[in-house]
Amino acid sequence: MKYTNLGKSNLQVSQVCLGTMHFGSRTSEEDSFKIMDKALEMGINFFDTANVYGGSGGRGRSEEIIGKWMKERGTRDDIVLATKVFGPMGEENNPNYSAGISTYKVRKHVNESLQRLQTDRIDLYQIHHIDRNITPEEFWGTFERIMNDGKVLYMGGSNFPGWGLATHQLQAMQRGSMGFISEQTMYNLVCRYPELEVLPAAKALGIGVIPYMPLAGGLLTGKKKSVEGSRTNQVENEYGIHLGDANQQMADFSALCAELGEKEHVVAIAWTLAHPAVDSPIVGVRTVDHLDGLDRAAELELDDETLQKLDEIFDPNKGRPLRVGQAPEAYAW
């Protein structure tokens, strides 16, 4: 496994990050433990979760499973632990705990995450979505306070537009703060919107990009068809891209991967890592088998000719247009 500094920080993370969104919903506690055991054995030291992960009615369950695993295995200091704050945690009827950021809300949610994770600190605390209403004084004052208390070591964004990263980073600099060291955005061969503004802004500002869905929910794994109700089937409908014999783009992609002698998911992840703004793609894993090849993806360096061929197959200027809307809603939820 290869490692890199996350953004402008001196924090070393594996060049593949373990995504745990499915823990507690699609993946049992027992299987989640097996996945984390194997990931750590492979050299993956970067684990990503969120306070809202755990499925309908089970928000917080992913954090609970990770916390129990760290406690039982004694692995807390072996991993860089990332979680998020923004969404409500079953408190929708209280306006102070609805979606968004406030000192009032973060005070409660950070302590609840620490309790579920059974730890004294969050290594990377990420804002799950931009809040356009909060003032910079309240935003950075809130997070500086919990960082000074030792509850959080580093801050990151998620689903921020380029202008949002620039604005928040400038505010942090004016306060003498490091600001964000990472940005989590959806980015893969069939979702290249972040190339418009997010990736260039992040690179210029010293913010390491940790893309989620680098495999497009399974579309880029060589599958010929999806199972009804599966995550891949959901993403087919979200992206408007359907697998099958009629999909020449995916056929061409698989043919190129065969020429390279590499699996499709390995090439797809390696492609995201080829972008100079990207530090560590997040791979959401449901089974231990889904870890196969992730170490190879971190090692594989695609040459210029291969990158050009992938650009031709996945030309961002062909096919369906950008969704109408402002950033980040044009390319995120």
> How does pLDDT run across 184-230, given as a tens digit for each residue?
999 999 998 898 899 999 999 999 999 999 999 999 999 888 888 78
DSSP letter, residue 140: H
Please tell me the distance from the alpha carbon of residue 256 to that of residue 244, in angstroms, as a whole number: 17
What band does 325 get if pLDDT is binned at 50, 70 and 90?
low
Of residues 153 and 99, the one with the higher pLDDT is: 153
Which position among 53, 154, 212, 331 bears the catalytic label? 53
Q: Are residues 272 and 265 in contact, defined by beta-carbon separation less than 8 angstroms?
A: no
3-state secondary structure of 309: helix
Please tell me the distance from the alpha carbon of residue 56 to that of residue 294, in angstroms, as a whole number: 29
So what's the pLDDT on residue 170? 97
59-68, 159-168, 223-232 — which is least confidently predicted?
Answer: 223-232
CB neighbourhood size of 210 (10 A): 30
So what's the pLDDT on residue 330? 65
pLDDT at 322 over 70: no
76-80, 84-88, 103-107, 243-247 — which is least confidently predicted?
Answer: 243-247
Q: What percent of the chain has pLDDT over 70?
A: 96
pLDDT at 323 over 60: no
Token pair of 29 as six digits? 């506690």
So what's the pLDDT on residue 326? 61
DSSP letter, residue 278: B
Give the largest Cα separation in the chain, rounded. Answer: 56
3-state secondary structure of 119: coil
pLDDT tens profile 246-304? 899 999 999 999 999 999 999 999 999 999 999 999 999 999 999 999 999 999 999 99
Is 53 a known active-site residue?
Answer: yes
Please tell me the distance from the alpha carbon of residue 270 to that of residue 286, in angstroms, as a whole number: 20
Token pair of 102 as six digits? 């406030």
Of residues 319 and 155, the one with the higher pLDDT is: 155
Q: Which of 280, 308, 305, 306 is nearest to 294 (CA)?
A: 280
pLDDT at 160 over 80: yes
Residue 5 backbone phi and psi in degrees, to 5: -70, 140
Cα end-to-end span (Å), the chain: 32
- For domain 3-218+272-303, the CATH class is alpha beta
Burial 75-114 (b: 16+ CB within 10 A, else e): bbeebbbbbbbbbbbeeeeeeebeebbbeebbeebbeebb
So what's the pLDDT on residue 332? 73
pLDDT at 321 over 70: no
Token pair of 315 as six digits? 């030309």
So what's the pLDDT on residue 328? 72
Quick one: average pLDDT of 160-182?
A: 97
Q: Are residues 38 and 288 in contact, defined by beta-carbon separation less than 8 angstroms?
A: yes
